Amino acid sequence: MAERWILLGSALATLVSVGCNPAKGDYEHCLELEKAGKLEEASKACEAAVQKDPTGPTGKAAQDKIGKLQARIVDQLAGELKKNNACTQAQLALIDAKPEDKARLTKDREEKCKGVLPSSSAK
């Protein structure tokens, strides 16, 4: 019987805390997703927190976090773009290469395309 009261009390405390801060769950989820490296999903969770409490401290913290997450997402995309461009240039150089340069340029392409192309395509 005492266990029931403890469980009921815990459930009630959880409901009260969520009711007082409706954005808390989404913001905490945002932080967990960020730690897991899922930046776009984290940004969406923070957006949900802001929608639930735009003027509260958690909503404001979530809004700040969105800006930081978006900057990290853009940095990642810029890095991927640079890598893709380097891979493309290496492939184009190989296509136009003289036979005596093909081995060297193939090795260069493999380096620059690692992680961009499937390994069988980069050879």
Predicted local distance difference test score (pLDDT) of residue 2? 56
List the one residue out of 74, 18, 75, 65 whose CA is nearest residue 42. Answer: 65
Residue 114, beta-bridge partner list: 117
Predicted local distance difference test score (pLDDT) of residue 64? 96
Task: Note if the pTM is more than 0.95.
Answer: no
User: Which residues, 6+ apart, have CB-to-CB distance to 91 below 8 Å?
Assistant: 109, 113
What token pair was written down for 118?
Answer: 């499937």
Which residue shows structure tokens 């992680």?
Answer: 115
Series of mean pLDDT values for 10-residue runs along the chain (123 residues):
55 53 93 96 96 94 96 95 95 92 93 80 47
User: Which residues, 6+ apart, have CB-to-CB distance to 111 below 8 Å?
Assistant: 90
Predicted local distance difference test score (pLDDT) of residue 16? 47
